[in-house]
A and B are shown apart, each in its own frame.
Chain A
Amino acid sequence: MITILETIGRLALWLLLAPMLPGIVNRVKSWVAGRRGPPVLQLYYDLARLWRKSVVMSTIASPGFVAGPAVAWVAVVGAALLMPLGPAGGAFSFKGDVLLLVYLMATARFCMAWAALETGSSFEGMGAAREVSYAVLTEAALITAILSLSVQTGSVVLDSMLSTSSGAGAVLLAAGLFAVLLAENCRVPFDDPNTHLELTMIHEAMILDHSGPPLAVILHGASVKLMIFTVLLCEAVLPLARLSPVMATAALAGAVGLVTVGVGLVESLLARYAFRRVPMLLTAAFLLCLFALLLAWKGGAR
């Protein structure tokens, strides 16, 4: 009974808080640009509006066009439930849960790309091709980061991997994971979530033909994914287990906010990179994680 209540509580936390992060990012961007900007809760209004709207679907799209976003959303939310939340730990902690998390993200990507290609549109094809291609490199960087955490702590359980700090390699790991976060969530400098030039987009190009409730599900899933990566980055760096539960919760919340503001600052201060430079940046992220791994291997407690 307690487990069920706890799971519902976690679910509510993830589902309700996640749409806040894109709001904060946008707020930071408008603050840097000197505009007033949309309210922090804008995405909530958008989601509510989209949920009530009717759907226009391409005549050549199969039921997978709707099923894809739904399955992707469930996969991302499932991955969120695997994430430990500071002192509260993970809801379903077991050996190897971290790999399930990575592969649930892959399931979500498979479904999104499949749904994008349903329409036969070239723009969506382009977006999907970019998404799945760059994911090859981000996945390598992510696994390397996880390996470094695992070697550091000698565990393959998210709960214990993320409770201590990653030691000397924390800075490298933070930089690498931050780049992975930006790439996986299609933020600047990998992709521009604001642009309306389809040729230059990844995520937005994939969802051009989605509307109404499926679009709401996609946008909400994207915000949950952003929150997962933010929490992952913060917990990998912060030694939460050494703090008291209250302090740890406060530190985690503060760090998540900080990273979100950082995403907004990057987005305000950097321009999107040319696509041919994206692989180089991702390789750099991979190398950062690799060096963090080497540091964890040679240093760190046995």
Chain B
Amino acid sequence: MSLGGLLAFGLLTLGAGIVLGGRMARTWLALSVAGCGAALASALPVLCGAGDWEFRGGFQIGGEPLHFRLDSISAMFLALLGAVGALGAIYSREYWSEEHSVGSAARGRRWWCAMILSMGLVLLASNGIHFLIAWEAFAVSGFYLVTLDSGRREARAAGWLYLAASHAGTLCLFAFFSTLAARTGSWDLGPMRDHANLAPLFWLAFAGFGVKAGLFPLHIWLPSAHANAPSHVSALMSGVAINLGIYGLVRFGGWLPLPPGAGWIVIGAGMVTTLLGIAFAFAQNDLKRLLAYCSVENAGIIAIGLGGALLGARHGDASWGRLMLAGALLHVWNHGLSKSLLFLGAGSVLHSTGTRDVSRLGGLWRSMPWTASLFGVGAAAVSGLPPLNGFVGEWLIYLGLFGAATSRGPSAWAAVPAAIVLAMAGGLALAGFVKAGAVVFLGAPRTKAAAVAREGGPLMRGPMVALAAACVVLGLAPFAVWPAVGRAVGAWNPRWDGAEIPAPLLELGLIQIALAGLFAAGAAWLWRRVHESNLRRAPTWDCGYSMPTARMQYTGGSFSGIAAGWFSWVLRPELRQRRPRGLFPNHAVRMERVPETALEKFFGPAGQLVMRLSDATRRLQHGRVQFYIVYFLGGLVALAVLTLLIP
């Protein structure tokens, strides 16, 4: 089947999924897996170098002829969308089934297809109007998916915040596309580097797509939306939806002529986002909020790579720019896959225990061994540890940063702090994911809900296994996807087309394979030795403390206490406590919460100020006609004075 045929097939199946998804759950599953599979299958030939696909139809929508395009850059994102979309659909059959969520399951199925369809169209659209229509459909279907659980107040609030932030971003994009159309005279999108007067428009695109990508401080909607959405939706949003923001930045960073400071601002925003995102993640005690903030961090890492590429393109097409872009694009895949895996794992925990609060969990490995080990793989992958995939992308970005630093040019001023930020963020991510994994899955269950947890069924385990396998394979064989990444780098900047990207991925891949084998062999060998050595099981020794209770275990809050304290200037933790008093204290409370500082300390008060001003203005409108006549009169007099004063 031709590429166009495959894409049309995907369009039709997903469309049918929207129509039929309400009643026929099985048919819906087949349709959405087929649709996502078609998306993946149509991306593969482009990634393998079969050339770009372009379609211009005579048919008009919104007064503009259809124009679709699939090149190596959009194919990378489309492949990720197809993979996560299909796996999430399978997962949701058990996770968000008719029995568990009466009423919303049918709605969820329809909107799932709608969201994947609209995301796919965003990636394919090559006309400003159609891009905006698809973008809006994607934002709205996201809203309905976030608020699937509309009985919960939190979910509704998160949904509204998401919708408001999304539309603030869309407003920027609307201004962007319409100005672009006005200046170029056509809504058609494509490379336009020779129109130098378009350069300032990059900032509009940066703001609009930055909201979706979750760059600090435009990320305010992200933690609550990703935490309160059903987990398969969180996986799709964190794994793919924020990457559409990245896609916009990459796409228009490549097509537009760039204003002078673009690379600096993007890499700077990336640094701030990376460090603060992971600091917030580390301090969270809500498992899904932690993962959501970690997505903010990873968007920052990708922005560092993209900013480096913009700098590199500006400073003589240095080879380190290519490395950074390749690292950023590869990190899109790596982060998308590992974060989807982690959200599905968190979903399994939530599904079986009913809580996302890590301090109410613990000891789940015994009842949920699959989820525990797969979450462990995802945690190591997203912390960027070799031999898994997260390391490869970060390694490429590091190589680029080191290249920029050793060039000792002006870009070194950005590269040196970025490398240090990346190192610190790596350390904090490791700490955060040790905490998330260990407090939830290890030790003894802290509550009854955690003690009676049950592993999810095959429909929930299967997608997680597939995602974990993808993380391992991308880590062990990065050279397999290297040509595809190289092609995308070439498509981004035609001057880089065919240029060598100096990274010894083959050596790295071989070493990673050897490491993975040795890790497995070492663990098996020690395990055997331990069992040969007359293994005895006893309660935790804990220096002779003989009466341990589960509540005396180290909690997530105490684990993150030290490093979160270093960031208290931005985290602003809220503490509510009642100390034990008297000789026989019996009641004490200590509650700590890390608020979304940017939202509660800045955007919230700013919004309230606007509301108060609006309220004050509303007093002018009271329905008394004689006053309105006075307004008119005053207005006329003012106009008269103005015309007299201004010649």
**B-contact 0/1 string along A144-156, CB 8 Å cutoff:** 1001001100111
Give, as a whole number of angstroms, the nearest-CB distance from B439 to chain A. 7
**A-contact 0/1 string along B404-443, CB 8 Å cutoff:** 0110100010001001101110111011011001110111
Known: A62-B442, A129-B561, A198-B543. A70 touches B412 (CB 8 A): no
CB of B537 closer than 8 Å to a CB of A: yes
When distances are taken between beta carbons in the complex, the residues of chain B under 8 Å from A138 are: 427
Which of A111-119, A172-180, A237-245 forms part of the interface with chain B?
A111-119
**CB neighbors of B among A225-280 (8 A):** 279
When distances are taken between beta carbons in the complex, the residues of chain B under 8 Å from A110 are: 380, 383, 385, 430, 433-434
Give, as a whole number of angstroms, the nearest-CB distance from A66 to chain B. 5
CB of B530 closer than 8 Å to a CB of A: yes
Kindly state the separation between the CA atoms of A122 and B538 in the bound complex, as whole angstroms: 17
Kindly state the separation between the CA atoms of A73 and B522 in the bound complex, as whole angstroms: 8
**B366: nearest residue on chain A (CB-CB)?**
A62
When distances are taken between beta carbons in the complex, the residues of chain B under 8 Å from A133 are: 431, 562-563
Known: A92-B511, A99-B395. A74 touches B438 (CB 8 A): no
**B369: nearest residue on chain A (CB-CB)?**
A62
Across the interface, do B522 and A70 meet the contact criterion of CB distance under 8 Å?
yes
**A198: nearest residue on chain B (CB-CB)?**
B543
CB of B112 closer than 8 Å to a CB of A: no
Give, as a whole number of angstroms, the nearest-CB distance from A131 to chain B. 9
Across the interface, do A136 and B543 meet the contact criterion of CB distance under 8 Å?
no
CB of B529 closer than 8 Å to a CB of A: yes
**B-contact 0/1 string along A121-145, CB 8 Å cutoff:** 1111110111011111111101110
**A98: nearest residue on chain B (CB-CB)?**
B402
Kindly state the separation between the CA atoms of A3 and B434 in the bound complex, as whole angstroms: 37
CB of B526 closer than 8 Å to a CB of A: yes
Known: A110-B383, A126-B554, A140-B420. A213 touches B511 (CB 8 A): no
**B427: nearest residue on chain A (CB-CB)?**
A136
Give, as a whole number of angstroms, the nearest-CB distance from A98 to chain B. 9
When distances are taken between beta carbons in the complex, the residues of chain A under 8 Å from B518 are: 74, 78
Instruction: Using C-beta atoms within 8 Å of the partner chain, give the interface range for chain B.
Output: 35 or more
Known: A95-B503, A198-B543, A209-B542. A142 touches B423 (CB 8 A): yes
What's the dominant secondary structure at chain B's contact region? Answer: helix
Across the interface, do B526 and A214 meet the contact criterion of CB distance under 8 Å?
yes
When distances are taken between beta carbons in the complex, the residues of chain A under 8 Å from B437 are: 114
Kindly state the separation between the CA atoms of A126 and B542 in the bound complex, as whole angstroms: 12
CB of B628 closer than 8 Å to a CB of A: no
Give, as a whole number of angstroms, the nearest-CB distance from A120 to chain B. 3
When distances are taken between beta carbons in the complex, the residues of chain A under 8 Å from B548 are: 120-121
Across the interface, do A147 and B536 meet the contact criterion of CB distance under 8 Å?
no
Which of B406, B515, B527, B534 touches A66 (beta carbons < 8 Å)? B527
CB of A195 closer than 8 Å to a CB of B: no
Kindly state the separation between the CA atoms of A156 and B433 in the bound complex, as whole angstroms: 29
Kindly state the separation between the CA atoms of A107 and B523 in the bound complex, as whole angstroms: 14
Kindly state the separation between the CA atoms of A73 and B519 in the bound complex, as whole angstroms: 9
**B-contact 0/1 string along A190-217, CB 8 Å cutoff:** 0000000010000000001100111001
When distances are taken between beta carbons in the complex, the residues of chain B under 8 Å from A63 are: 527
Across the interface, do A209 and B526 meet the contact criterion of CB distance under 8 Å?
no
Across the interface, do A58 and B543 meet the contact criterion of CB distance under 8 Å?
no
Kindly state the separation between the CA atoms of A183 and B227 in the bound complex, as whole angstroms: 36
Across the interface, do B444 and A120 meet the contact criterion of CB distance under 8 Å?
yes
Across the interface, do A140 and B423 meet the contact criterion of CB distance under 8 Å?
yes
Q: Tell me the B residues contacting A by CB distance below 8 Å.
A: 362-363, 365-366, 369, 372, 376, 380, 383-386, 391, 394-395, 398-399, 402-403, 405-406, 408, 412, 416, 419-420, 422-424, 426-428, 430-431, 433-434, 437-439, 441-444, 502-504, 507-508, 511, 515, 518-519, 522-523, 525-527, 529-530, 533-543, 548, 550, 552-554, 558-563, 566
Of all A-B residue pairs in the complex, the 5 with the closest CB atoms, nearest first, are A125-B554, A120-B443, A117-B438, A136-B427, A143-B423
Interface CB pairs A-B, < 8 A, 11: A55-B536, A56-B538, A58-B537, A60-B540, A64-B365, A129-B561, A132-B430, A135-B431, A147-B405, A151-B406, A213-B533
* Known contacts A120-B363, A212-B530; 13 further A-B pairs (Cβ under 8 A): A56-B536, A58-B538, A59-B537, A78-B518, A94-B508, A120-B553, A125-B559, A132-B427, A134-B562, A136-B431, A144-B420, A156-B403, A208-B542
